[in-house]
Structure 1
Amino acid sequence: MTLSPEAVRRAGNPTREEFSERLLRGSVKKSYEPIVDIDWDAPLEPDKFFLPPKTVSLYGTPAWDAMTREEQIELSRQELVNTLSAGIWFENILNQALLRDLMHADPTARATHYALTEMGDETRHMVMFGRTIEKVGAKPMRPKRFQRVIINGLPLVFKGPLLWVAALVGEEIFDSLQRQMMDDPQLQPAVQRLMRIHVTEEARHIQFARDGLRKHVGDMAWWQRLWVANLHGVGGYFFRHLFSNPAQYRRVGLPGGASRDLARASAHRHDVQISGFAPLAAFLEEVGLMGPIARRMWRRSHFLPATPSASPAPAAIPAPSDDAGDDAYDGPATLRVGGTDHAVRVRLMGHLDPTDGRYHWRGTVFEALPDDVLRTPRVTLAIGARISDARLTEKTPWGTYSIVGEGAPPFA
């Protein structure tokens, strides 16, 4: 069902400032520092995939069946690198566009503050993607010269509602696919951790973009609405090219063009793409921004079913979660859990958050701890004579633990 502009105004959603304030609080309470939240020193597991097999582009084709497991794993490695490389370039574009938009924004507004927070997240994501490419032992996929010219020009075009639609197209398809694959037991632990971090923080970015679009859609002129509702269909062709980039096949010794054509014709691949686009497609339909030209382009690139089906259920904006120059320390510490001391190694980093004016630090505890340790997450961490209260938040794929704290850190 498409909401009219009047219905959007009467929906009773939080104001842009209220929504942004809640996202800011969520960012303070649940954010990551990939430098300390991923165990970059842990070795790769030789028999595990870098993407779940069912999401690799050639899965379900004769070419996939003819490959050895080692060749399949190598293809998953190159497809991961291809995706992460594109992620770096997209987040670069998004940050440039947000910065240009902020030149005309109120610097005291909470929406401005959250946009700056999002740019900080995206910067850390680019570092995380680059470190992961290095970690898996591959070279990044670099855009060609003409593609770099286009990339540098896009931030000049992404303004207003088009910026939010572009952000959703660039973020939500990846987010949807990552949610489906990040708990796959066949996946490398480092990739699982990357996806967990990315999904957690991108959820807030998606909420921010959806809310921005909702707040603008009722005030758009008819020609602007027509333009935005149809232009985003180009994203289907971009993702089709990305997911079947011939370079990733050539790197594993397969013919680039023939493999690309095989992947694009794969019915299984079409199903994967449709499932990844479904949440965004439902949202665009709901707010009246799925134009006929865009719908045709998404369908021709196999992100929508070839035969129109029943209208998808409206995609509500998830409620923002309130759970949602720094020095690093890597060395010994004493962790006290329930009155028992444990000698551990930790890697920690922190920063002063301007949102609440407090110092927030976090990191990883590397030693094995009792199985029930998360039942009493409140702990103290001592490094030398400095002792700080902290909280264990989760167990990572490597069996290590994430730890967070506020106030004076235990490291100098």
Structure 2
Amino acid sequence: MASSTVRPDLSTSADRPDEQDVARRLLDSAAQLAYDPATEVDWETPLDKDFHGASPEWSTLYGTAYWNELSEAQRKELTRQEAASVASTGIWFEMILQQMVLRDIYAKDPTGAEFQWALTEIAEECRHSIMFARGAQKLGAPAYRPHRLVLELGRAFKTLAFGEAAYAAILVAEEVLDVMQRDWMRDERVVPFVRTINNIHVVEESRHMKFARDETRKRLRGAGWARRQINAFVVAVASYFIVTSMVNKKVYENAGLDAERAIAEAKANQQHKAMMRSSCSGLMEFLASARLLTKPALAFYRRAHLI
């Protein structure tokens, strides 16, 4: 996954007053509605294992023959491990996101709303990463990390991606996580502290997704065919590795299951693939409207079961 080096935008906020409007509204929203996970989440109450870690329907094994053989206790442990893995993947990508955004605003006017919103978003992402880390730990999970190759590809992406490639990839990661968490936060079968974490993340990420959509549209103004083709491909490849890294294969062993059988049945699980496709319809509509659903890009989205 490669792109060009960063191109600093040396213009000031006064040069583009209309382009500051979205950032101003997001700053106002953050001032009115923001959370401190350190105090909002119940970290003290011991984990209640009578609850799931995520909505069962979102489990990679839900609907399979293996799922039907599991006891309720096994199902709950599996969803707790899967939720922890998703949280760990979220931390990994939030660290990439923070570096790309910081690099993007490096030489911009600090008095502008866009600059100040970007720092506000980074501050929120820092709190989210700590919240996810504490949540995964409380779920009784180890530190799940993407495969070594994916980690190195992420290292390259955060260094090289800029403009619409960076912001569209940010959007994909945020939207995929958002649709899951909207279900989990409303589900009374999910352990209460995880529901609180999901609610905080959904509320604050709605601002981040708004900014990512706006930046993607803005950076694509006047973009030619070749530029759209290249960036559509880069975003699709990044999205594929992000989505396929969400549930680590080690979750099955850590949940006490037959890992080999679980991996095979999860890979063939059409129910889970359908959940992913239906939940990403709005995201795909946006990418289509931005003309980022090229034939090569579509191949990767299909492989990730996002379309």
TM-score by length of 2: 0.90
Counterpart of 1:76, as a letter, is T
2:34 is equivalent to residue 18 of structure 1: no
**What secondary structure is seen at the aligned counterpart in 1 of 2:137?**
helix
What residue number does 2:229 align with?
A: 226
- Judged with a 3 Å threshold, the aligned counterparts in structure 2 of structure 1 residues 270 and 148 are, in CA distance, closer, same or farther, namely closer
Work out whether residues 174 and 205 of structure 2, in 8 Å CA contact, stay in contact via their aligned partners in 1.
yes
Structure 2: state its 5+ residue gaps: 1-16
1:153 Cα deviation (Å)? 2.3
Alignment partners' CA distance in 1, 2:153 and 2:285: 29
Work out whether residues 91 and 129 of structure 2, in 8 Å CA contact, stay in contact via their aligned partners in 1.
yes
Map residues 45-56 of structure 1 onto 2, 5 A cutoff. 45-56=48-59
1:145 Cα deviation (Å)? 4.4
Work out whether residues 131 and 197 of structure 2, in 8 Å CA contact, stay in contact via their aligned partners in 1.
yes
Alignment partners' CA distance in 2, 1:127 and 1:209: 22
Alignment partners' CA distance in 2, 1:189 and 1:170: 24
2:114 is equivalent to residue 114 of structure 1: no
What residue number does 2:212 align with?
A: 209
1:231 Cα deviation (Å)? 2.4
**What secondary structure is seen at the aligned counterpart in 1 of 2:280?**
helix
Among residues 249, 264, 267, which one is paired with 2:267 in the alignment?
A: 264
Alignment partners' CA distance in 1, 2:257 and 2:37: 34
Map residues 132-143 of structure 1 onto 2, 5 A cutoff. 132-143=135-146
Higher relative contact order (CA 8 A, sep 6+): 2
2:132 is equivalent to residue 129 of structure 1: yes
Alignment partners' CA distance in 2, 1:115 and 1:236: 22
Work out whether residues 161 and 217 of structure 1, in 8 Å CA contact, stay in contact via their aligned partners in 2.
yes
Task: Quote the RMSD (CA, aligned, Å).
Answer: 1.7
2:194 is equivalent to residue 191 of structure 1: yes
2:176 is equivalent to residue 173 of structure 1: yes
Map residues 8-407 of structure 1 onto 2, 5 A cutoff. 15-239=18-242, 241-304=244-307
Alignment partners' CA distance in 2, 1:208 and 1:297: 25
* Per-residue deviation, residues 304-360 of structure 1 (Å, max 9, x unmatched): 1xxxxxxxxxxxxxxxxxxxxxxxxxxxxxxxxxxxxxxxxxxxxxxxxxxxxxxxx
Give 1 or 2: higher helix fraction.
Answer: 2
Alignment partners' CA distance in 1, 2:124 and 2:73: 34
Structure 1: state its 5+ residue gaps: 1-13, 305-412
1:300 Cα deviation (Å)? 2.8
- Judged with a 3 Å threshold, the aligned counterparts in structure 2 of structure 1 residues 182 and 294 are, in CA distance, closer, same or farther, namely same
1:185 Cα deviation (Å)? 1.2
- Judged with a 3 Å threshold, the aligned counterparts in structure 2 of structure 1 residues 243 and 257 are, in CA distance, closer, same or farther, namely farther
Q: Percent identity?
A: 34
Alignment partners' CA distance in 1, 2:270 and 2:292: 27
Q: Which runs of 4+ in 1 moved over 6 A?
A: none
Work out whether residues 236 and 303 of structure 1, in 8 Å CA contact, stay in contact via their aligned partners in 2.
no
Work out whether residues 173 and 243 of structure 2, in 8 Å CA contact, stay in contact via their aligned partners in 1.
no
TM-score by length of 1: 0.67
1:212 Cα deviation (Å)? 0.7
Work out whether residues 274 and 302 of structure 1, in 8 Å CA contact, stay in contact via their aligned partners in 2.
yes
**What secondary structure is seen at the aligned counterpart in 2 of 1:262?**
helix
1:243 Cα deviation (Å)? 4.2
1:258 Cα deviation (Å)? 3.4
* Per-residue deviation, residues 204-227 of structure 1 (Å, max 9, x unmatched): 000001011111222223221111
Structure with bigger gyration radius: 1
Alignment partners' CA distance in 1, 2:291 and 2:205: 24
Alignment partners' CA distance in 2, 1:126 and 1:243: 15
1:91 Cα deviation (Å)? 0.3
Alignment partners' CA distance in 2, 1:244 and 1:191: 17
Work out whether residues 273 and 302 of structure 1, in 8 Å CA contact, stay in contact via their aligned partners in 2.
yes
1:24 Cα deviation (Å)? 0.2
